[in-house]
Amino acid sequence: MSAERRPVFLNLLQIRLPWTGVASILHRVAGVILFLSIAPSLYLLQRSLDGESGWMHVVGLLHAPLMQPVLLLLFWAFWHHFLNGLRLLAMDLGHGFGRSVSARGSLWILLLAPVLAVLCLGDLW
């Protein structure tokens, strides 16, 4: 095999993506997290509707210390996916196409989604 046709190893940790690229990748990650959380969420909903004992079980589960990072991740995934989806819809309407505007919008989403996730988790406690 010649030297030109060899596969190239790309170290993804060394590639410096723009803010829009980071937001795009995290949008996909958040979508996968939300998709995977559908079945457990439906189970918890069904369990909470079984009666008072089911409700208390779900409340106890959600207030467990080991569940807090999971809830924080789910809240982050929701807010990131929601806010970035709104940004992409605005781009579909023709707003925010400039390089600086798009990067600034992505940076706002990357900063705002964790803040909203922490606020939601704090409200749950």
For the segment 78-90, the average pLDDT, to the nearest whole number, is 95
In a domain, 2, yes or no: no
User: Could you tell me if residue 96 is inside a domain?
Assistant: yes
Number of folded domains in the chain?
1
Q: What number of other Cβ atoms are within 10 A of residue 101's Cβ?
A: 12
Its domain, for residue 109, covers: 66-125
Calpha distance 19→22 (Å, rounded): 5
pTM of the model: 0.84
In the chain, how long is the greatest CA-to-CA distance?
Answer: 70
Q: Is residue 107 in some structural domain?
A: yes
- pLDDT per position as a tens digit, 3-15: 677 778 777 778 8
8 inside domain: no
The pLDDT assigned to 110 comes to 96
Tell me the C-alpha distance between 108 and 103, whole Å. 9
| Domain assignment present for 41 | no
Tell me, yes or no, whether 75 lies in a domain.
yes
In the prediction, which pLDDT does 2 show?
Answer: 57
Residue 83, in any domain of the structure: yes
* pLDDT tens per residue across span 18-40: 899 999 999 999 999 999 999 99
The pLDDT mean for the chain works out to 91
Residue 111 lies in a domain: yes
